[in-house]
Amino acid sequence: MKLMMLMAALLLSAGVTSGVWANPLPAQPHVYVEGSAELEVEPDMMTFTLSIQKSDLDLAKAKTDVDARSRLLIETVKKFGIKANDIATTALNIRPEYEYKDGQRVLTGNNVSRQVDINLRDLKKYPEMMKALVDAKISETINTNLTLADKKTVEEKVQTAAMNDAKARANRLAKSQGKTAGEPWSISEFNNRGNERWELTPNRELMGRSGVMKADASSLQRMASEPFEPGVMKITAQVYVVYLLK
């Protein structure tokens, strides 16, 4: 008996929950719209990510090498006016490396690595800074990413524009039916009528045409001497709004 009552309670709970998700709209007349907006902005910051690593049977030698190149990196970028709060270094990562020989695991070296992220806020200095990093031979790979120093402010601006778009859409739809859009009943960044209600993924995105570059040792020198134009980035936002009709 207790088991049957428990199962009934669970089924009832599931039904209530399903009903809530299945009908997230008011019972009274309403209009449900998606507002969207897109802004083009010029990137004003570039993040350099360098991986500094060394493998050696002698752990102390490997660590000394990584520490020396880390110091050289910091000294190099400070010449371009990079401040300490725009340099982030991870702790050393030490990983033993093994090979199997004759069925036995044999230590072949110790890999010591560290990642360093650097924010360059004056994009005019990019060509010179890239060249300096290449010439210093600090890392075999350099990843760069164009972005915005104050991304939050731009996101808020485009979200406001998306809300204005939603209001205009609601008014047009309501007017076509002889109604007017009243107060918003719900506002969401998530499409609560689609799969995103489970994923809870905000509908906003920052996209850059030349946002990411990756170089290896054979192409770093060529990249450092090429002309650089940051172009523009697009930031988009969507909002989902339910307005009551009156």
Look at residues 106, 128, 147 and tell me which one is the last residue of a structural domain.
Answer: 147
Which pLDDT does position 91 carry in this prediction?
A: 92
The answer as to whether 222 is a domain residue is no
Same domain? For 66 and 182 the reply is no
Q: For residues 94 and 159, state if they share a domain.
A: no
Residues 182 and 242 occupy one common structural domain: yes
- Amino acid type, 233: M
Q: Is the pTM of this model over 0.85?
A: no
- Model confidence at 229, in pLDDT bands (50, 70, 90)? confident
Co-location of 49 and 96 in the same domain: yes
The more confidently predicted of residues 14 and 122 is: 122
**Which domain-ending residue is among 119, 147, 175?**
147
Task: Supply the range of the domain harboring residue 102.
Answer: 45-147
Q: Using CA atoms in the order 116, 122, 124, 128, what is the torsion angle rounded to 10 degrees?
A: -30
pLDDT at residue 87, rounded to an integer: 96
> How many domains does the structure of the chain reveal?
2
Whole-angstrom distance, CA of residue 242 vs CA of residue 168: 13
pLDDT digits (tens, 9 = 90+) for 141-199: 899 999 999 989 999 999 999 999 999 999 999 999 999 999 999 999 887 655 444 44
What is the structure's pLDDT at 11?
45
8 within a domain of the structure (yes/no): no
Torsion sign over Cα 60, 63, 69, 70: negative
Are 118 and 38 found together in one domain? no
CATH of the domain at 36: 3.30.110.170
Q: What is the CATH number of the domain that holds 106?
A: 3.30.70.2970
Query: pLDDT tens, 28-56?
Result: 999 999 999 999 989 999 999 999 999 99
Looking at the DSSP assignment, which residues form a beta bridge with residue 131?
A: none
Query: Do 108 and 128 fall into the same domain?
Result: yes
Q: Tell me if residue 71 falls in helix, strand or coil.
A: helix
Please tell me which residue, 159 or 218, carries the higher pLDDT value: 159
**Does 62 share its domain with 35?**
no
Q: Quick one: pLDDT at residue 109?
A: 95
Q: Are residues 137 and 153 in the same domain?
A: no
Q: Report the SS3 class of residue 234.
A: strand
Could you give phi then psi for residue 92, rounded to 5 degrees? -65, 140
